[in-house]
Chain A
Amino acid sequence: EDKVVQSPLSLVVHEGDTVTLNCSYEVTNFRSLLWYKQEKKAPTFLFMLTSSGIEKKSGRLSSILDKKELFSILNITATQTGDSAVYLCAVGIRGNTDKLIFGTGTRLQVFP
């Protein structure tokens, strides 16, 4: 059975801290790994990773994929209160119709 596991489940930090969120997966027919940020309702897209070892970066956020060890990390440096959200990891599965398999998410709370 395809599964995606995120850790930690929740994280509480102060502004300025650096955090690392983890996502491991066991799936057949891997196509891609995606990170989303969910603040209230709509998950908003952050990154899509398809190749191992190539870091993707957007401002203070960065992510990398290891297809040999089957995991990805999402780093956030110099955290701000606006980074407080649930961060979702999803793995795209190849098929007649591709699917996204989601983890339960990591809830990040950043306090001033």
Chain B
Amino acid sequence: ETGVTQTPRHLVMGMTNKKSLKCEQHLGHNAMYWYKQSAKKPLELMFVYSLEERVENNSVPSRFSPECPNSSHLFLHLHTLQPEDSALYLCASSQDRVLSTEAFFGQGTRLTVV
């Protein structure tokens, strides 16, 4: 248990569905991240939030929409996804946007788009 909790753990959705991934951190951190991990590829940074403000958007398609209502919660809203979006989606948090200490990861959501 790293103090970062993600739900659901597994998700299967059709291409026309809308779903949301949730991340909650109990560490008092100020920065939160979404990463995508596809088979045989490095973790790819998608979004960074610092103090609830989006500070990084790594050219992610608009079918992925993040939301950070407060510094403890981060959502990733999904709509009209493609099969190639199937991957492990990992949430992470760090003390702040300057990585002077490590980032902590959640267990991830395994997403399958059918």
Contacts and interface: CB of A to CB of B under 8 A. Distances in A.
Interface string A71-112: 000000000000000001010101011111111110000000
B61 interface: no
Interface string B28-57: 000100000000111101001010000110
A44 B99 contact: no
Nearest to A3: B42
B102 A34 contact: yes
B90 A42 contact: yes
B105 A98 contact: no
**Which secondary structure dominates where chain A touches chain B?**
strand
Contacts of A45: 102-104
Contacts, number: 63
B2 A44 contact: yes
Contacts of B108: 41-42
B59 interface: no
Interface string A32-58: 101010001111110010000000000
B66 interface: no
Nearest to B104: A45
Interface residues of B, number: 28
B98 interface: yes
B102 A99 contact: no
Contacts of B88: 41
Interface of B: 2, 4, 9, 31, 40-43, 45, 48, 50, 55-56, 88, 90, 97-108, 110
Interface of A: 4, 31-32, 34, 36, 40-45, 48, 88, 90, 92, 94, 96-105
Given A32-B100, A97-B48, 18 more contacts: A36-B105, A40-B107, A41-B9, A41-B90, A42-B2, A43-B43, A44-B2, A44-B105, A45-B102, A45-B104, A96-B55, A97-B31, A97-B55, A97-B97, A98-B99, A99-B56, A99-B99, A103-B42
